[in-house]
């Protein structure tokens, strides 16, 4: 499995990828899923992949070999939209080449790609490319994209990230989102590739590989978990009586006459006095 997340902010772009691949839990490996296309001063683009590793590596090979579209390659495309079309075309070329043979082994042609960056002359842009080679672009109302094991880490992003967030805040949130995913899915694993791109720099601004020894990530995980528990403890207990519908009844299956009601044990009666007997 994989978890990759990218965020498009006014301040720039943030990309975070784990590095675990597995074919069943008995075959786990480490593969970098983040790849950078950088021509400093002209363009900086980041591509992250999830899905079938043989497919995503073949797509990368085509891009490495300068697959083109309308006479452009990824290095010469005039804007990010055209560059993303080239990525989509590479996916379609591999589909044409591989899908039938894979299907004979009931292997789905499954690849998903996050591709984003900036080409001189336009703003930062962020795209997600699907197995069919079609793609969508992140916009203000949905400023981040995820591929792979996306669900565990989604709620925290929805709560804190907006296009106005700073690069550092987005990095913080991406790492917390990754932490929640790491805890819940062992097929997502360290090390992490983290890249922060400052708008208009047209070069990689910040990159770091994060492993178990990374003190900042350790602090973040520890502090976040501990503070979360503190907030949890700080919230009032349910005020049952105050709730509208406190007298609601659940959907009960009818008690058959064949089964005579049993006299309530004393313990239940005391509970009934204490809480009000829910059977009335």
- Residues 172-231 within binding reach of its own copies (CB under 8 A): 172-173, 175-176, 180, 183-184, 193, 195, 198, 200-211, 213-216, 219-220, 223-225, 227-229, 231
CA 129 to mean position of chain CA atoms:
14
- Shortest Å, Cβ 173 to its own copies: 7
CB of 103 to its own copies, least distance (A): 17
Residue among 101 and 227 whose Cβ is closer to its own copies: 227
Q: Is 63 in the site for its own copies (CB under 8 A)?
A: yes
Q: Is 16 helix (H, G, I), strand (E, B) or coil?
A: strand
Nearer to its own copies by C-beta: 18 or 193? 193
The two structure tokens encoding residue 221: 């995980």
Size of the site for its own copies (CB under 8 A): 102
**CB within 8 A of 111, min separation 6: which ones?**
49, 50, 51, 52, 55, 56, 59, 91, 94, 131
Strand partners, 37: 45
- Which is closer to its own copies, CB of 41 or CB of 134? 41
Among 23, 66, 77, 86, binds its own copies (CB under 8 A): 66
Task: Return d(Cα 154, Cα 167) in angstroms, integer.
Answer: 18
Binding residues among 146-175 for its own copies as defined by CB under 8 A? 151-152, 154-156, 158-160, 168-169, 171-173, 175
> Which 3 state secondary structure label does DSSP give 140?
coil
Q: Which of 101, 104, 261, 273 binds its own copies (CB under 8 A)?
A: 261
Q: In sequence order, which residues have a C-beta less than 8 Å from that of residue 204 and are 6 or more positions away?
A: 36, 38, 44, 195, 197
Q: CA angle 167-172-177, nearest 5°? A: 120
Which tokens sit at 241?
A: 């009586």
Residues 120-149 that bind its own copies (CB under 8 A): 120
Name the residue with tokens 């990759």: 4
Using the minimum distance from each CB to its own copies, give the nearer residue, 96 or 252: 252
Alpha carbons 165 and 213: distance in angstroms, whole number: 27
Contact flag: residue 35 with its own copies (CB under 8 A): yes
Nearer to its own copies, 101 or 176 (CB): 176
Taking CB under 8 A as the binding criterion, the range among 20-28, 81-89, 136-144, 252-260 that sits at the site for its own copies is 252-260
Token pair recorded at residue 70: 């309308």
C-beta separation of 113 from 56 below 8 A: yes
Least distance from its own copies to the Cβ atom of residue 131, Å: 20
């Amino acid at each position: 499995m994989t978890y990759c997340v990218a965020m498009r902010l006014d301040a720039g772009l943030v990309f975070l990828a784990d590095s675990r691949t597995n074919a069943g839990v008995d075959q786990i490996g480490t593969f970098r899923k983040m790849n950078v296309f950088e021509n400093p001063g002209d363009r900086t683009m980041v591509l992250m992949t999830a899905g079938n590793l043989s497919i995503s590596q073949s797509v990368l090979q085509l891009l490495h070999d300068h697959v083109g579209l309308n006479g452009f390659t990824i290095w010469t495309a005039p804007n990010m939209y055209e560059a993303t079309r080239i990525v989509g075309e590479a996916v379609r070329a591999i589909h044409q080449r591989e899908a039938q043979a894979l299907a004979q082994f009931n292997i789905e042609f499954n690849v998903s790609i996050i591709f984003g960056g900036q080409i001189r002359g336009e703003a930062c842009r962020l795209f997600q490319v699907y197995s069919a080679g079609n793609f969508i672009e992140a916009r203000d109302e949905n400023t981040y994209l995820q591929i792979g094991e996306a669900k565990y880490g989604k709620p925290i992003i929805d709560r804190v990230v907006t296009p106005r967030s700073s690069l550092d805040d987005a990095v913080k949130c991406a790492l917390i989102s990754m932490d929640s995913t790491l805890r819940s899915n062992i097929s997502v694993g360290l090390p992490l590739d983290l890249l922060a791109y400052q708008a208009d720099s047209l070069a990689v601004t910040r990159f770091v590989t994060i492993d178990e020894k990374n003190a900042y990530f350790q602090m973040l995980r520890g502090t976040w978990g501990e503070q979360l528990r503190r907030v949890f403890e700080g919230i009032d207990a349910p005020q049952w009586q105050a709730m509208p519908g406190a007298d609601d009844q659940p959907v009960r299956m009818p008690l058959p006459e064949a089964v005579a009601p049993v006299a309530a044990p004393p313990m239940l009666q005391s509970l009934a006095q204490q809480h009000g007997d829910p059977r009335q």
